[in-house]
Amino acid sequence: MIIPRNRRELLSGSEGILKGSCLCGSVRYEADCDAGPIIHCHCQTCRKAHSAAFSSVMPISQKSFKWVDGSELLNSFESSSGKNRYFCSTCGSQLIAERPDVGLVLLRMGCLDTKVTDRPDAHIWRSDAAPWYNPDDEIRQLPEGYLKP
Ligand SMILES: [Zn+2]
Ligand SMILES: [Zn+2]
């Protein structure tokens, strides 16, 4: 994970409060900060935690983050030393990871409700990536699902 050296490096894109929620809507959070860099992490623990090719994350200051609803439903898993991944125990959404040692919260972009217009800055941990996904591949893009009834 990239650890920004200071807060200023995080500032870009949309301003104001970032809001997010889980799939079932029970857990909600707010972060009183501007949108920071968006990073696609391909490490194996992110792939396992999200059961996906990569996890899209945004590091923000822990001080700006707060749970506003449903925090009693949260469960967490320490996937590596000092890094706790929080998820809703009802629907399983991964909402954030927390690195208290460096004062960072890593928002999981898929649960962000605020429309952020920034574009991703980097793919990281490509050395750990799934063999079946390469961001350089051009594949067809469909407006809706793969199979139509
Ligand atoms: Zn939920
Ligand atoms: Zn990762």
Domains belonging to the chain, first-starting first, are 15-128 (3.90.1590.10)
Q: 2: CA distance to ligand 2 center in Å?
A: 10
Instruction: Give long-range contacts, CB 8 A cutoff, 24+ apart: 74-81.
Output: 74/27, 77/49, 79/45, 79/49, 80/45
Ligand nearest to the CA of 59: 2
Confidence at residue 10, expressed as pLDDT on a 0 to 100 scale:
44
Q: What is the largest CA-CA distance in the chain?
A: 51
Q: How far is the centre of ligand 1, averaged over its atoms, from the C-alpha of 89 (Å)?
A: 7
CA distances from 16 to 1, 10, 42, 56, 149 (A): 24, 13, 29, 20, 42
* 93 Cα to the center of ligand 1, angstroms: 6
| pLDDT tens track for 66-110 | 999 999 999 999 999 999 999 999 999 999 999 999 999 999 999
Q: What is the pTM of this model?
A: 0.86
| Closest C-alpha among 125, 92, 97, 124 to residue 109 | 97
∠ CA 108-114-120, rounded to 5°: 55
Ligand 2 centroid, distance to 109 Cα (angstroms): 13
